Structure 1
């Protein structure tokens, strides 16, 4: 294993050790946090009984104070409407850890009677109306209450007192009310806004109400419903019920459509509707409710169409309302969430708190005691205490789970940390090994430097041996004077090469001239008068050039005859091998020049023979000027006579 391999192995071991140390530190932190959490959970569990007792005592105290307030209010309302009636008593108990409320009246002998089972309808009407007002306020939702024949069991002479109490309670609590009644309440002392039903369902029921007075009672941003308009809703072709901010009454004979208004409101806010809501012969029923800001909440029931129900909110100009990219128009079976959010009318604990049903005038008295307490909330304080109790139960469950799981996790962490106890010693050993590895790497570096130095020394020895051998080989070489002689001879060889190339060129020219001479040898002795003087002049000029070239070639050939047959052998000196190769190349060039010279002579002889043939054909006369001429003189530069001189 090399020192580099050792360092790599130690680096990997260091990284692994770092990961193990990080795991150990993380487990230590987790153990400390888990131990702290378990200790806190056990501490809270130790205080569990004390906290539960405190919350129960706090709840009972809050419930007692709320119950006392409700008893006083309900008793005052009952005795205002029904003088001489027994006081209302509320009993608060506990069912399955939750408050339960019993509602009754106290007999003179101290006994208790149930309001619903043991008393008349008038008592039920008054208590039910009061409980609805309380539930509307306690729900924290929309402050609107619609009562349908809530005075049905009250004696006519006590009805004015009933509405006086309703008007006072609604004004004090800020609740807008709509009361449907078959009594003529127009002469009542209470400040009611009264509208009347007129017409027949067969021809279209109308509503006669103080629309102008109602409109004048509203401020622009004031919450509440301004009107209810019914279009093709059962007996109503198109009728509008104006509403004021206080208590509104709609009166009229039975079976003329008073309760249709309540059914329309239940359709809009509870989604409780049937196709029978649509007027006979119409394709759809429409309910419009005026709200704050001039807007209109519209509901349409359209049987045999999709969607069968359609809710929408419109601006005063009829355009759909759009806020934050949402268009307020929704179809389907269920009431849209935005209707509940904007107007706050919905069921509370599955009970119809805001809009009463004519067939179920009794409110809350027929429910179980625990549900009564939940609907009335028995004060916000009691609700907060119930939330605190629920949080305490959740915290106890969470603490028990934390303790159980935490102890298991603590045991696991301690076991894991026990396996990592030797990390510190391992880290020290690794540090020592890394120091030794560094020292070993330094020694290896110095060893490599020494090996490199030895390699350089061996290479220097080999170079010295080679130099000595070359010196011995060069000692036997001739001196510098032999080199000078060789240089002179090389210069002469170069000159001869140049001469040889010229000879070759001349030989080629001589061969051409000999060919032309052979062509002229067969000319007749007397040349006929040339027909074309210009052409004869051109031939004569060409013959003169050939004669000159032939003379030059002969001179060069004579100069080459004195050259030796073979070049001298030089004495080798430094660089002699290259010089010898150069001389060999010159010798080969000289042999080629001599071959070309021989070829030139052969060509010249062939040219003389051809010229002789030309002169033979012309009778020994020049083909150009017609004068007698010999083949050799024709090639050597014959001067042409003028035609008339030849003649």
Structure 2
């Protein structure tokens, strides 16, 4: 289309963490030029048309493209080449095109369908076109628009624009209603409409589009009525189409979802991809690089690219938040550090204090050593005092000869003390024996000899009880003897015989005790003889106290003198 022009490059970069599409012209020296700012309008028209074709194909929806004055900045001699490229591209891509142009494009391409504006807006604009050839080019089920009918739409009272499957062109002079066709399409598919679309003097503006299988898509704009916009889909016989029990007729201000679903013509990524606006012929080139990249998210990859962009935005937001938090933290740290400006002086003072602390530690260790030495000296003084006291006590002791004499006297005194203890024990035994002899002397002759002296007291107590019982029995017998003969007699106790036997046994034991008492008297006599021998050995003196004593009084009743007790 533009011979001799430089190659066009599309580079995907990033801008502030988001995808950015750069569209530029590559110079021979390797430099880059912006298509919109650094080149003429012809380059802008060509690149804009190419970008629209790319976007329509990537959208994967309705393959329809309406261009309004897309060749306005191209030189007349290059316009045929523009339409030839458009025609070839549309045929290869399967895109139906409608191009509005003020150029006479007749004869530019063999498959180019050209319609013309006839008449004037005041009397009603008409459209002259090859309706028969266009209708013959369609099969009933082939998708695409067969015609576009305008009824009471601005300058059109009732006009029909036939459309073929390829590239269609509508030509005519300026200000005769060519762009009204584009306005009608934007009203039907974008919901972009005003009341000025209605022809003067009419109440309703109607747009009809013939589609596959003889159906007709109708749109009506009726100002000051409800609904103000009405979309409906009709069968070939004029009846409304029903899908899943729902009639496809919807009123309101927003385009119904079924229109977008059935025909696939809508804004993609908020871009006017299918129907171009006359006043904005530049597609994408006037947008920012990040906005340009939206064309890459059109189609099947749209969701993935949007997710990637959303993720990138989240990451950028997180990074920005981290940066802000870091800056705030740095500000806080700087504020905290400003209060620590005297750290160097404090460090010097701290070093001096540390030196003083080390010196104090050395002095403390020395003081502990001196305190330990003082404790040892105090203990030594106490030991010396004790030793001196013991020395003085030893100095007062008698001479060795006197000590030996004292030792002999002490041994003799210990011997006498042992002999005295023996004499005292013998005296105690003799007194006990005399007591037993005295007790036995009072026993009756018939008393048995007591073999077990430990039980003598028990037997004596029993004997006393028996004697008391015998006396009571004699008293009762005397009383019974004085009773009359007719008085009842007491029954004798069954144990009377046993009691008599016990009395006899007790008598025998009493006799045995008397024999033992006689033996004790004999033993006492032997002890007195032994005592006489002891006194003869001591010169008639008490072995314990050294006082003169008789053998009989030594055993019983002797009182030791104080001298003997002290020894």
TM-score (norm 1): 0.47
Determine which of 161, 183, 199 is the counterpart of 2:103.
183
Q: Which residue of 2 aligns with 1:341?
A: 261
The CA distance in 2 between the partners of 1:175 and 1:382, in whole Å, is: 21
| Contact 1:163/1:190 (8 A) holds in 2 | no
Q: Which residue of 2 aligns with 1:134?
A: 54
Q: Does 1:220 pair with 2:140?
A: yes
The CA distance in 1 between the partners of 2:227 and 2:283, in whole Å, is: 33
Q: Measure how far apart 1:96 and its partner are.
A: 4.4
Q: Which residue of 1 aligns with 2:112?
A: 192
Instruction: Flag the 1:272–1:394 CA change in 2: closer, same or farther, 3 A.
Output: closer
Q: Which residue of 1 aligns with 2:369?
A: none
Q: Which residue of 1 aligns with 2:180?
A: 260
The CA distance in 1 between the partners of 2:293 and 2:311, in whole Å, is: 20
Q: Does 1:360 pair with 2:286?
A: no
Task: Provide the secondary structure at the position in 1 that maps to 2:265.
Answer: coil
Q: Which residue of 2 aligns with 1:281?
A: 201
Q: Which residue of 1 aligns with 2:245?
A: 325
Instruction: Flag the 1:366–1:308 CA change in 2: closer, same or farther, 3 A.
Output: same
Instruction: Flag the 1:381–1:206 CA change in 2: closer, same or farther, 3 A.
Output: closer
Instruction: Flag the 1:174–1:107 CA change in 2: closer, same or farther, 3 A.
Output: same
Q: Which residue of 1 aligns with 2:372?
A: none
Q: Which residue of 2 aligns with 1:229?
A: 149
Instruction: Flag the 1:321–1:253 CA change in 2: closer, same or farther, 3 A.
Output: same
Aligned residues: 316
Q: Measure how far apart 1:91 and its partner are.
A: 2.0
Q: Choose between structure 1 and 2: higher helix proportion.
A: 1
Determine which of 27, 37, 45 is the counterpart of 1:125.
45
Bigger Rg over Cα: 2
The CA distance in 1 between the partners of 2:140 and 2:161, in whole Å, is: 19
Instruction: Flag the 1:233–1:380 CA change in 2: closer, same or farther, 3 A.
Output: closer
TM-score (norm 2): 0.54
**1:339-488 correspondence to structure 2 within 5 Å:** 339-377=259-297, 384=304, 387=307
Task: Provide the secondary structure at the position in 2 that maps to 1:376.
Answer: helix
Q: Measure how far apart 1:205 and its partner are.
A: 0.6
Q: Measure how far apart 1:374 and its partner are.
A: 2.0
The CA distance in 2 between the partners of 1:388 and 1:185, in whole Å, is: 44
| Contact 1:160/1:190 (8 A) holds in 2 | no
The CA distance in 2 between the partners of 1:141 and 1:240, in whole Å, is: 25
String of CA shifts for 1:133-163, please: whole Å, max 9, x gaps. Answer: 0001111111100000000000000000000
The CA distance in 2 between the partners of 1:319 and 1:201, in whole Å, is: 32
The CA distance in 2 between the partners of 1:265 and 1:169, in whole Å, is: 22
The CA distance in 2 between the partners of 1:391 and 1:104, in whole Å, is: 28
Q: Measure how far apart 1:350 and its partner are.
A: 1.3
The CA distance in 1 between the partners of 2:50 and 2:182, in whole Å, is: 19
String of CA shifts for 1:332-384, please: whole Å, max 9, x gaps. Answer: 11111111111111111211110000000000011122222222338856964
The CA distance in 1 between the partners of 2:225 and 2:202, in whole Å, is: 13
| Contact 1:167/1:190 (8 A) holds in 2 | no
**1:489-528 correspondence to structure 2 within 5 Å:** none
Q: Does 1:249 pair with 2:169?
A: yes
Instruction: Flag the 1:320–1:254 CA change in 2: closer, same or farther, 3 A.
Output: same
| Contact 1:164/1:190 (8 A) holds in 2 | no
| Contact 1:226/1:291 (8 A) holds in 2 | yes
Determine which of 183, 196, 202 is the counterpart of 2:122.
202
Q: Which residue of 2 aligns with 1:166?
A: 86
The CA distance in 1 between the partners of 2:114 and 2:72, in whole Å, is: 18
The CA distance in 1 between the partners of 2:33 and 2:194, in whole Å, is: 40
The CA distance in 1 between the partners of 2:111 and 2:296, in whole Å, is: 28
The CA distance in 1 between the partners of 2:114 and 2:134, in whole Å, is: 10
Which consecutive residues of structure 2, in runs of 5 or more, have no partner in the other structure? Answer: 316-567
Instruction: Flag the 1:314–1:324 CA change in 2: closer, same or farther, 3 A.
Output: same
String of CA shifts for 1:309-354, please: whole Å, max 9, x gaps. Answer: 1110001111111110111111111111111111111111211110
**Comparing 364-373 and 352-361, the one that deviates more:** 364-373
String of CA shifts for 1:99-144, please: whole Å, max 9, x gaps. Answer: 2110000112211110001100000000000000000111111110
Instruction: Flag the 1:145–1:379 CA change in 2: closer, same or farther, 3 A.
Output: closer
Task: Provide the secondary structure at the position in 2 that maps to 1:117.
Answer: coil
Determine which of 143, 151, 165 is the counterpart of 2:63.
143
Determine which of 222, 232, 243 is the counterpart of 1:312.
232
Determine which of 68, 78, 88 is the counterpart of 2:8.
88
